[in-house]
Amino acid sequence: MKTEIIREYYRQRGLGWPDHKSALLFFLSEVGELAEAYLTIQDEAFSEEEKSLFQNFAELGLKADEIVSRKPGWIRNNDRLRKENIAHEAADCNMMLLVFLETYAGQSPDEALLQKMELKLGHSLSFQPEPEDENS
């Protein structure tokens, strides 16, 4: 997603563009919400270790949220009463990771990932998706 879309969303919500430290705190808060949502609605059996890990992430996310919510101009839009939408929580993580990396390094996570892959491969990575089979 382009940050222009996120900037317009922020504008329409009356939010300011965060600095990179705030964006990282927002991201950590969203990771906590995702962990909490996943733990809440997954019907898989979690080990005690896994439950504890997800609960710790949720608690740390709340702490990050407490810190960043003290910043002027921050509007809390999720009181954590609706935990059921994992896709929306993951999307929030993606949005805040994108905002963080743009404010920190002026690039997108996709650009950074491609650079990392190419560095590990030692050459440019060119990828052409295979055409979908019309009979499938």
Give the confidence band of 123 by pLDDT, cuts at 50, 70, 90. Answer: very high
Report if residue 43 sits inside a domain.
yes
Report if residue 135 sits inside a domain.
no
Against a cut of 0.85, is the pTM above it?
no
Report if residue 49 sits inside a domain.
yes
Q: Are 34 and 90 in contact (CB under 8 A)?
A: yes
Report if residue 7 sits inside a domain.
yes
Query: How many folded domains does the chain comprise?
Result: 1
Domain range for 16 is 3-107
Convert the pLDDT of each residue in 49-89 to its tens digit: 999 999 999 999 999 989 988 877 666 555 555 557 899 99
Report if residue 21 sits inside a domain.
yes
Report if residue 136 sits inside a domain.
no
Residue/partner pairs of 106-111 with CB below 8 Å, 24 or more apart = 108/3
- The number of C-alpha atoms within 13 Å of 120 and in the hemisphere containing its C-beta is 6
